[in-house]
Amino acid sequence: MKKTFWLITLLTSLLMAGSTLTVNAQTYPPKHTPELEFALQRKVTLGEAFSIDNTQHGRRTVIPITGGTFEGPGLKGTIINGGADYQLANDKGRTELEAIYCIKTDDGVYIHVRNRGIIANGKDASGKPKFYFKAAPQFEAPAESKYGWLNDALFVCEPEWTQEFKGIVLNVWRVK
């Protein structure tokens, strides 16, 4: 157990990493906005859902994840049958989703996924009704594999609607 000043630790790890750090004199409003870089698209097939109404946490809906495919720059494969999206809806129509499942790359690597997010009917700035569905998938890949970069970044995803595919299409971006 050591006592340390965290910022010193942080700056040391920055220097060790040889990173260039931009230090700003003025901070508000921020001049830099993070970019979103397309990472992968998942096409997920779903089984028949069932719900448990009025639990202590709201309405719990279980949507089986039965299969599908994924594809992105440098990765491609299938979605393993056997996961599920465990959604929780409160009585205002707001839903929290938590999809838990695994994918398998076409070179045989398994990757675990937990995708937590929000489905809400909100309004935009002009007061117009707006459907909102965003989630933040977290990946667990073998750290030393070519997919290890999935472990070390934040991701966001949103659905895409298509007539071409019976299921749900989710596009995932890496926060750069």
Pairing of strands 83-89, 58-72: antiparallel
Q: Supply 3's token pair.
A: 């006592």
Beta-carbon count within 10 A of 10 CB: 11
Select 106 or 154, whichever has its Cβ closest to its own copies: 154
Q: Quick one: which of 22, 44, 75, 106 contacts its own copies (CB under 8 A)?
A: 22
Residues 108, 112, 139, 8, Cα dihedral to 10°? -110
Can you say how many angstroms the Cα of residue 41 is from the centroid of all Cα atoms in its chain?
11
Whether 115 contacts 99, CB under 8 Å: yes
Residue 171 exposure: Cα atoms within 13 Å on the Cβ side: 10
Please tell me the distance from the alpha carbon of residue 134 to that of residue 152, in angstroms, as a whole number.
20
Instruction: Write down the least CB distance from residue 9 to its own copies, Å.
Output: 8
Instruction: Write down the least CB distance from residue 158 to its own copies, Å.
Output: 6
Instruction: Write down the least CB distance from residue 49 to its own copies, Å.
Output: 4
Binders of its own copies among residues 97 to 136 (CB under 8 A) are 100, 102, 108-112, 117-122, 128-132, 134-136
Residue 5 sits in the site that holds its own copies (CB under 8 A): yes
Select 75 or 85, whichever has its Cβ closest to its own copies: 85
Binders of its own copies among residues 26 to 65 (CB under 8 A) are 26-30, 32-34, 36, 38, 41, 43, 46-57, 60-64
Select 79 or 117, whichever has its Cβ closest to its own copies: 117
Binders of its own copies among residues 65 to 84 (CB under 8 A) are 71, 82-84
